[in-house]
């Protein structure tokens, strides 16, 4: 496999890859490339699961998570950022400017402000509309986007009516099976996983250095304060310079129970190929959870020699690849459940 190479989650990752590629192709560093990919999607209002335009929590507030990593002793993370658009860049500052790994909530916002980041209103008009539709339908969380909803369709499972945070009062998030897709839309369509669209990116540069990053607004209409796998080192992202790197996307609660990204890298350390490692992590999830039709998890994994793979629990996931000879959106190498 030729380097440099960028591998991102989902087809919209291609937009980020495009922006990061010129610098990387000129000999730039993988850490700059992964940050750039995330920044582009964080600023993209059309992506309703990352950065500005992300769907809010059950109180109508957007909160962002992100992390970045070069090695076990070179990583940074932020979660529950409420006033700044680029969690990945704040995470990089945590890595480079502090002796900590992770900052959360008000502390992360205060740190970003002190570092000179520009405050931003994160709630886009479309996301606000989606929130109001969700409130009106009185629901909790459905992470599919079949039926053409521009946002996950809420359902009511007996939570008391009339308040924005009924989902929180009900004490848990509920899911229901994804409905049949509308005519002309296939279940293989990536669009059915709206709300499951963390941007995660792995990159190996021309110097042979691996880096990874991810950024998300988390589960749509989540309980306020909920943090998923994405900003947690070893869950949403892990990088070992000698043995490989992995990023996860999808239902964070399933990924966190198996330390998904760390496990994938450990399996590569033990000799598994990237595809085998990604499949093994998904199998571990299948073995440990009551996986529902609306659950999706996907993993991308890359070795320091540039060999990479992706695998998903269900169809409808895609990865974006950018290298010297290629710039494409690809199907996963394995889909575990049909
Ligand atoms: N993994 C993210 C989370 O659980 C969301 C996603 O990738 O879909 O917050």
pLDDT tens sequence across 287-318: 999 999 989 999 999 999 999 999 999 999 99
Peptide bond before 4: cis, by omega within 30 degrees of 0? yes
- Dmax over CA atoms of the chain, in Å, equals 57
Domain-located, residue 296: no
Q: Residue range 157-166: average pLDDT? A: 29
Q: Which domain holds residue 127?
A: 5-242+318-335
Q: Could you give phi then psi for residue 328, rounded to 5 degrees?
A: -150, 165
State whether residue 168 is helix, strand or coil: helix
List Cβ<8 Å contacts ≥24 apart for 95-103: 95/68, 95/69, 95/70, 100/76, 101/75, 101/76, 101/77, 101/233, 102/67, 102/76, 102/77, 102/78, 102/231, 102/232, 102/233, 103/77, 103/78, 103/79
Q: Residue range 100-120: average pLDDT? A: 98
Q: Catalytic residue among 140, 198, 216, 251, which?
A: 198
Give the pLDDT band of residue 204 (cuts 50, 70, 90): very high
Query: Does 245 score more than 60 pLDDT?
Result: yes
Ligand 1 pocket mutation pick from 214, 223, 249, 256 by most atoms within 8 angstroms of CB = 249
Place of tokens 């409420």: 82
Query: Does 333 score more than 90 pLDDT?
Result: yes
Place of tokens 């994804």: 178
Domain-located, residue 264: no
Query: Does 284 score more than 90 pLDDT?
Result: yes
Residue 193 CA, closest ligand 1 atom number: 8
183 or 105, which is more confident: 105
Query: Does 193 score more than 80 pLDDT?
Result: no
Give the pLDDT band of residue 109 (cuts 50, 70, 90): very high
Q: Residue range 12-28: average pLDDT? A: 97
pLDDT (0 to 100) of residue 197: 73
Residue 253 CA, closest ligand 1 atom number: 4
Query: Does 153 score more than 90 pLDDT?
Result: no
Domain-located, residue 257: no
pTM: 0.86
Q: How far is the CA of 283 from the centre of ligand 1 (A)?
A: 18
Give the pLDDT band of residue 181 (cuts 50, 70, 90): very low
Domain-located, residue 134: yes
Domain-located, residue 312: no
Range among 48-57, 172-181, 190-199, 233-242 rated most confident:
233-242
Give the pLDDT band of residue 189 (cuts 50, 70, 90): low
Query: Does 14 score more than 60 pLDDT?
Result: yes
Token pair belonging to 314: 């269900």
The total number of structural domains in the chain stands at: 1
Ligand 1 pocket mutation pick from 145, 152, 251 by most atoms within 8 angstroms of CB = 251
Q: How far is the CA of 62 from the centre of ligand 1 (A)?
A: 14
Domain-located, residue 225: yes
Cα–Cα distance list, 228 to 128, 233, 236, 246, 255 (Å): 22, 11, 8, 16, 9
Choice among 188-192, 204-208, 230-234, 250-254 with the minimum mean pLDDT: 188-192
Q: Count CA atoms closer than 13 A to 162's CA, side-chain side.
A: 1
Domain-located, residue 261: no
Place of tokens 């399933």: 254
Token pair belonging to 154: 């809420």
Q: Count CA atoms closer than 13 A to 295's CA, side-chain side.
A: 18
Domain-located, residue 27: yes
Query: Does 176 score more than 90 pLDDT?
Result: no
Q: Residue range 100-113: average pLDDT? A: 98
Q: Let me know if 198 is a catalytic residue.
A: yes
Query: Does 218 score more than 60 pLDDT?
Result: yes
């Amino acid at each position: 496999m030729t380097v440099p190479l960028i591998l991102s989650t989902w087809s919209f990752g291609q937009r980020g890859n495009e922006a990061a590629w010129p610098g990387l192709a000129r000999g730039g560093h993988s850490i700059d490339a992964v940050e750039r990919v995330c920044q582009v999607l964080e600023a993209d209002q059309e992506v309703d699961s990352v950065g500005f335009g992300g769907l809010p929590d059950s109180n109508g507030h957007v909160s962002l998570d992100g992390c970045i990593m070069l090695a076990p002793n070179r990583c940074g993370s932020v979660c529950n950022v409420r006033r700044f658009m680029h969690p990945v860049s704040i995470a990089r500052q945590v890595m480079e400017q502090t002796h900590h790994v992770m900052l959360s909530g008000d502390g992360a916002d205060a740190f970003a402000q002190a570092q000179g980041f520009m405050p931003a209103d994160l709630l886009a008009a479309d996301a606000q509309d989606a929130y109001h539709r969700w409130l009106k339908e009185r629901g909790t969380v459905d992470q599919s986007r079949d039926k053409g909803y521009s946002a996950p369709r809420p359902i009511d499972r007996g939570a008391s009516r009339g308040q924005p945070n009924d989902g929180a009062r009900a004490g848990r998030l509920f899911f229901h099976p994804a409905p049949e897709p509308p005519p002309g839309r296939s279940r293989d369509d990536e669009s059915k996983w709206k709300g499951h669209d963390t941007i995660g990116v792995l990159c190996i540069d021309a110097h042979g250095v691996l880096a990874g990053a991810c950024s998300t607004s988390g589960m749509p209409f989540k309980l306020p304060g909920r943090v998923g796998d994405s900003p947690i080192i070893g869950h949403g992202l892990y990088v070992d310079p000698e043995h490989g790197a992995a990023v996860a996307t999808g239902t964070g609660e399933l990924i966190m129970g198996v330390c998904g990204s760390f496990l994938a890298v450990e399996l590569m350390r033990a000799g598994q190929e990237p595809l085998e490692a990604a499949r093994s992590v998904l199998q571990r999830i299948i073995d440990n959870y009551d996986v529902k039709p609306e659950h999706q998890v996907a993993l991308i994994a890359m070795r320091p020699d540039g060999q990479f793979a992706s695998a998903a629990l269900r169809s409808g996931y895609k990865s974006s690849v950018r290298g010297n000879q290629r710039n494409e959106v690809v199907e996963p190498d394995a889909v575990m459940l049909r």
